[in-house]
Structure 1
Amino acid sequence: MPELFTNDWATNYKELWNSNDGIAKELGQSNFNSVVAFGIEGEDDPRVVLTISNGQIITAGTPNGELINWDLRASNENWMALVAKPPGLMKLGLAYTSRKLKFKKGDYAVMIKDPRLSTAFVKCFALMGKAVN
């Protein structure tokens, strides 16, 4: 069982994201392209970086000098809580306002106002837990 934000986890996450049950298709319809990072609060570098093109994760793994658009951070404990019981939009909003989930890069308000992005954002947490198992 891979730990959260390892290369094994990133590989599993990429496969889940790009699968029929993932979110690649709906983000692809929006022509979503971005570089998204996840990491632990207080660490300089993210633990994993996802390069997304037309909704599909193209690369997933440790940082390799990519220009990151979104960098989400939380304590390990808060990540595990968000992954163990995937949150809805309200719980994510509470995590953000209480500073349990931080955007080191990217704008939460912009993302949450776009229904295509906010729906995918919620779904990405459910996939995170599945990638650990």
Structure 2
Amino acid sequence: MSEIFSPEWMAGFAAEWNKEPALAGALEQIGFKSTIAYGFKGDPAPKGVMVIEGGKVVSSGAYAGEPLSWDIRCTPEHWDKWLKKPPTMMDLGVAFTTGKMKFEVGDYSAMIKDPRMAGPFIKSFAAMSRVG
């Protein structure tokens, strides 16, 4: 397996994202457009980024300074744990409230209250766990 958030890993994540109807399909229905970055807490910048248009990933790779809609950070240990067993809504809520998951950019509270986005957000972790 490629290193998490490497360009190769991000390409695999994009492929898993796009083939998941409960993720890409659900977000397509609401015209979701976003630039989402992922990385590690404490790092000066995220590692990987995906550009989503109409719910589907149209590009992915290493973060190169582009403006972000979302920047999601966790410790390497938390990412590793979630790659092995995707989190539930409760797991994510606990991680957010205890500071183990941080949104450097984006509003977790607003997103999680919108069922059109909360469900796909959970599904994104399942897609991540299938990257091999």
- Measured against the shorter chain, the TM-score band is over 0.9
Q: 1:30 maps to what in 2?
A: 30
Query: Is 1:90 the counterpart of 2:66 in the alignment?
Result: no
Residues 37 and 48 in structure 1, CA contact (< 8 A), matched pair in contact too? yes
Please give the per-residue CA displacement for 1:90-112, whole angstroms capped at 9, x wherever unaligned. Answer: 11101111111111110111000
Count of residues in correspondence between the two structures: 132
SS in 2 for 1:73: strand
Please give the per-residue CA displacement for 1:73-131, whole angstroms capped at 9, x wherever unaligned. Answer: 11101111122110111111011111111111101110001001110110111111111
> Where do 1:35-114 residues align within 5 Å?
35-114=35-114
Distance in 1 between residues matched to 2:108 and 2:47, nearest whole Å = 20
SS in 2 for 1:122: helix
SS in 2 for 1:99: coil
Residues 22 and 120 in structure 2, CA contact (< 8 A), matched pair in contact too? no
What stretches of structure 1 move > 3 A for 4+ residues in a row? none
Deviation at 1:38, TM superposition (A): 0.3
Q: 2:8 maps to what in 1?
A: 8
SS in 2 for 1:95: helix
Residues 16 and 22 in structure 1, CA contact (< 8 A), matched pair in contact too? no
2:60 maps to amino acid = A
- Report which stretch shifted further, 32-41 or 80-89: 80-89
SS in 2 for 1:23: helix
**Identity rate, percent:** 39
1:2 maps to amino acid = S
TM-score normalised by structure 2 residue count: 0.95
CA RMSD of aligned residues (A): 1.2
